[in-house]
């Protein structure tokens, strides 16, 4: 998307990111008929705590927040990516892909990236597959919700 920048989020961005998150996850809630999913029940203070302790990036077009993603490096040198969000009216324009590239670049020593999405979230799964992610596990959360866990392994510089 033209004129878009991806930069680290700050505590001052928390309210805007939370509002965007709630808008972006409405389609997921409708898909699964469950409005109690964690992205819709997260509090402002919980998000502020995340921004203070893990990597949270935001995508802006001018002064408008258009997307966000967060990640944390694990002890095994893998990186858990979560809550990739894009304004609903701007989805499909490359913002999500740009955010994913930026969050991966923020962890240059990672050996592997991992994320999850719902099994019915086919657009999400297709996006992650286009970005090189593959399914490695599934977990049934409830009769209507199955999570799909995906990973992207990073080869070492010697292997390249």
What confidence tens digit (pLDDT) does each residue in 48-77 have?
Answer: 999 999 999 999 999 999 999 999 999 999
What pLDDT, on the 0 to 100 scale, is given for residue 69? Answer: 98
Instruction: Kindly list the structural domains of the chain, giving each domain's residue range(s) and its CATH number in brackets, ordered by start.
Output: 4-113 (3.40.630.30)
**pLDDT score of 159:** 44
Q: Is the pLDDT of residue 107 over 60?
A: yes
Note whether 118 and 84 are within 8 A (CB).
Answer: no
Query: Residue 68 contacts by C-beta under 8 Å, 6 or more apart in sequence?
Result: 9, 17, 20, 21, 56, 57, 58, 59, 83, 84, 85, 99
Q: Are 119 and 147 in contact (CB under 8 A)?
A: yes
């Amino acid at each position: 998307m033209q004129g878009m920048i991806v930069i680290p989020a700050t505590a001052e961005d928390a309210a805007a990111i939370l509002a965007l998150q709630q808008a972006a996850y409405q389609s997921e809630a409708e898909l699964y008929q469950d409005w109690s999913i964690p992205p819709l029940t997260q509090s402002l203070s919980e998000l502020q705590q995340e921004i203070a302790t893990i990597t949270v990036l935001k995508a802006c077009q001018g002064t408008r927040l258009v997307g966000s993603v967060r990640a944390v490096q694990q002890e095994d040198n893998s990186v858990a990516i979560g809550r990739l969000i894009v304004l609903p009216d701007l989805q499909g324009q490359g913002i999500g892909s740009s955010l994913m590239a930026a969050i991966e670049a923020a962890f240059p020593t990672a050996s592997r990236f991992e994320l999850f999405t719902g099994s019915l979230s086919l657009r999400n799964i297709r996006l992650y597959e286009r970005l090189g992610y593959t399914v490695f596990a599934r977990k049934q959360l409830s009769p209507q919700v199955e999570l799909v866990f995906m990973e992207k392994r990073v080869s070492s510089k010697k292997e390249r």
